[in-house]
Structure formats: C-alpha cells, structure tokens
Structure 1
Amino acid sequence: MKIDVTTLDGKKGGSVDLDDAVFGQEPRKDILHRMVRYQLAKRQAGTHQVQERGDVSKTTKRIGNQKGGGSARHGNGSVSQFRGGAKAHGPRTRSHAHDLTKKVRKMALRHALSAKQSAGELIIVDTLSIKKAKTAMLRKQLEAMGVTNALIVGGSEVDTVFGRAARNIPNIDVLPSQGANVYDILRRHTLVLSKDAVEALQERLK
C-alpha cells in the first residue's frame, strides 16, 4: 500500500510503499495483550520481600498455658498476629518474567504497526533532523502536524539535535528503530516513523 510522506515543516514529501505483511495485518487484540503483559512483567523489579517464620528470631516458649488462661491457645510469638511476628506466605524476591516465543513477539509488533495504520494514526516523515535543538520550535512543528501525544521512531540512530529538542516535550517519546516495541506504540496516540524507520522495521519483520 502507498502512504503519503510529509516533512517536519508540513510540506509534501512524496510517498512510500508499506509492506502489507507488516502494516496491513488485521490486528489481533489477544496477541497485543499477550505482548504487553510480557513486557510489563519483564520490567518488574521483583524485589518485594517480607519476613516469614524462618526469618524471625523470637522465643519459642509458649505465651501462656494451654488451658485456663482465658485466651486463645498460642504457641510462640513469631506468628503473624503478634507485633514483630512474621507474615504467612508473603511475597519473596523473584522474577515476574515469563516466556513468549520470538515468533509471537514479532507477530505482535506487526499487529501493533497495522493497528496504527488502520486507525489512521500513522504518520510518515521524510527525515527526523533539525538544525537547532530548540524545543519550542520543534513543539510548534509537531502541533502543526497534529502530533501532541506520539511515539517518534527514527532510523538506526536518532539525530542527536532532534533528540535533545524532543526530550522536554510532554507525551512525546523518541526511539531508534531497533527500540520500537508494542507497549510504547500502543501507549501513545500517534505513531510517527521516518522513512529510514519504515525500511528498518520492514526488514526486521519480514
């Protein structure tokens, strides 16, 4: 399929051919959901931990008599209902990551790109480069294009000047093509790709 290319100044920049196998898929919500869960689980720190019975050092002497004390029949004081006691079955340090095959991960990225294209939320620009790292100037250019909440993906490397100008704009993320991922694509309203990014993504997802 063909899609128009624009410049950062809002002028026409020709057109580019998009591979239907990458940008023309019928988006599957189940695949996208699996991939987002995979990404979010993988980035969890997993450093939560509480003291359990084996971690608490307290006397094991009985608190009171088994009978006749007028209270419940408690053993030692390390149980969870007493101050300073341990938690039963509390969280332990662990990894939350789970497996997802490479085939499904690539499929999910294709479906995320296709979802943006089919929803009319995909913009192709000829190049992501500016002369001066002026945030206000770049923000005006993006707003003139209707881009206020977007993920911007460049080629193998993001132009240094463009990256400096864009990093202080709220709700704008900038990534190189190899950093493009399903979660960041879906969390922003618009996806902006450079022509280099289109070529790199199509080569990566063939």
Structure 2
Amino acid sequence: MLSARFFSASGEPGDAMELPHDPFDGFVHDAALHQVIKAYLANQRQGNASTKTRGEVQGSTRKVWRQKGTGRARQGSIRAPHWKGGGVAFGPRPRDYQQDVPKKVKALARRSAFNARALAEQVAVIEAFDGEVAKTRHVAELLRKIGVTENKVLILTDGNRPNIYLSARNLQNVRVLPYREVSAYDIMNANQLLIEAGALQPAEEVAHA
C-alpha cells in the first residue's frame, strides 16, 4: 500500500496517509504512459506548416541560359531548389498528426502516472482547501509551509473549485485541475502533486455523501 504526506487545511503536517488502491496500486506501465503522452503531444500540433515546391513558386519558366557554350554549369530553371527564391525540396506540407488511443489505455496510463509520482514520493494530500475567497497570498503561503515552492506543482481539487483556480493562476509553476479530469500528461508534467483529500474518496462514497 502506497502512502503520502498529509497536511491539514492550514498546512500543518500530520501522519502519513495511505493512498487508495484505485488508482494507487503501485504498478507503472511504461509502454502505456509513453503511448498516451506521445499521442497527447502529437494531438496538440496544428500540422499547418507548408512550403512551396518548384512547381508552386512564382518565376519565369524560360531556361536560365543556353545549354552549351557558356562554360557554366547547365541550369534549367530559376525555380529549382538551389536557386535563391526557388522551391523547397522535401519541405513540410500540411498533415494531420492526430493519434487515437483506446479509453482503457488512457485509463491505464493515468493510473501509471499516479503510481510513478507516488513511488517517487512526489504526492502529498491536503485535508481541504479554503475556497471561500480567492486569495493568491493564501495559496502561496500554504505551498511555502508544505515546502513545494521550488517544484512544478499540480493541485488536484475535489470537483471544480473556481476560487482555488483564481488564487493559484498567478503563481509561477502552479496549476489547478479537478482530480477526475486530470490526464497522464498533466501528472507527469508536474514535479509535485497536491491532492485534496475529498477527491480520493471512491465515486460511490461521494455519490452517497
């Protein structure tokens, strides 16, 4: 059973907390992580880089100079790739980089990302966030007390917490996302996870709460 550091809402340390078996089962599937993160990054690409070939650039089609008798190398067109202003040989063309990944592989990668961070002792749990008022100073002080100000921090909240998001959006290297919407890339792109305790409750317990 994996465990994580536990902090009160004010940032005071407590006893280590055992993490739930789902998703923290201790298993990291490297291949699934690689596939999902590679697909995520590929899907961010617009794929609209484009160059013109020698048949698309503007310019005369006449032969530059006669074939023989000048003493110079033969040239057929000023639109050839080796001429200034000529077309590009084998340049990029618009293409679709979209990669589809099965839902089960995405879920496996997400669990693996959580486990990778937990095994590296980069997961901390906080009792709750005070989301009544959006105050950047409060979140900054909390992170300082916990000791994660030097890291790239991902705060995972129990559901949508607009005030927490507003409080942290002006802090460098701090992101706020709902726990149930976080992706494998988001997790692996952070050096430290700070999870709200309520987010770790099983879905059925949350539904009956």
With the length of structure 2 as denominator, give the TM-score of the two structures.
Answer: 0.84
Indicate how the Cα distance of structure 1 residues 134 and 19 shifts in structure 2: closer, same or farther if over 3 A, else same. Answer: closer
Aligned match of 1:106 = 107
Aligned match of 1:56 = 57
Residue of 153, 171, 174 corresponding to 2:173? 171
Query: Is 1:39 matched up with 2:40?
Result: yes
Aligned match of 2:71 = 70
| Deviation sequence 1:144-199 (CA, Å, 0-9, x none) | 11222210111231x22221111111111101134301122112111111133323
Deviation at 1:12, TM superposition (A): 6.3
Structure 1: stretches of 5+ with no match in the other structure: none
Deviation at 1:133, TM superposition (A): 2.2
Identity of aligned residues (%): 30
Assess if the C-alpha contact under 8 Å between 2:2 and 2:119 holds in 1: no
Indicate how the Cα distance of structure 1 residues 5 and 50 shifts in structure 2: closer, same or farther if over 3 A, else same. Answer: same
State the secondary structure of the residue aligned to 2:55: helix
Counterparts of 1:54 and 1:106 in 2: how far apart (Å)? 47
Aligned partner of 1:46: which letter?
Answer: G
Indicate how the Cα distance of structure 1 residues 152 and 194 shifts in structure 2: closer, same or farther if over 3 A, else same. Answer: same
Assess if the C-alpha contact under 8 Å between 1:5 and 1:124 holds in 2: yes
Deviation at 1:28, TM superposition (A): 3.1
Counterparts of 1:52 and 1:36 in 2: how far apart (Å)? 34
Aligned match of 1:147 = 148
State the secondary structure of the residue aligned to 2:34: helix
Counterparts of 2:66 and 2:155 in 1: how far apart (Å)? 70
Counterparts of 2:11 and 2:157 in 1: how far apart (Å)? 18
With the length of structure 1 as denominator, give the TM-score of the two structures.
Answer: 0.85
State the secondary structure of the residue aligned to 2:33: helix
Counterparts of 1:178 and 1:75 in 2: how far apart (Å)? 62
| Deviation sequence 1:107-140 (CA, Å, 0-9, x none) | 1110000111111111122223334322123211
Counterparts of 1:71 and 1:89 in 2: how far apart (Å)? 27
State the secondary structure of the residue aligned to 2:32: helix
Counterparts of 1:2 and 1:44 in 2: how far apart (Å)? 36
Structure 2: stretches of 5+ with no match in the other structure: none
What's the Cα RMSD here?
2.6
Aligned match of 1:190 = 192
Aligned residues: 202
Assess if the C-alpha contact under 8 Å between 1:2 and 1:15 holds in 2: no
State the secondary structure of the residue aligned to 2:175: strand
Deviates more, 1:85-94 or 1:64-73: 64-73
Query: Is 1:82 matched up with 2:89?
Result: no
State the secondary structure of the residue aligned to 1:60: coil
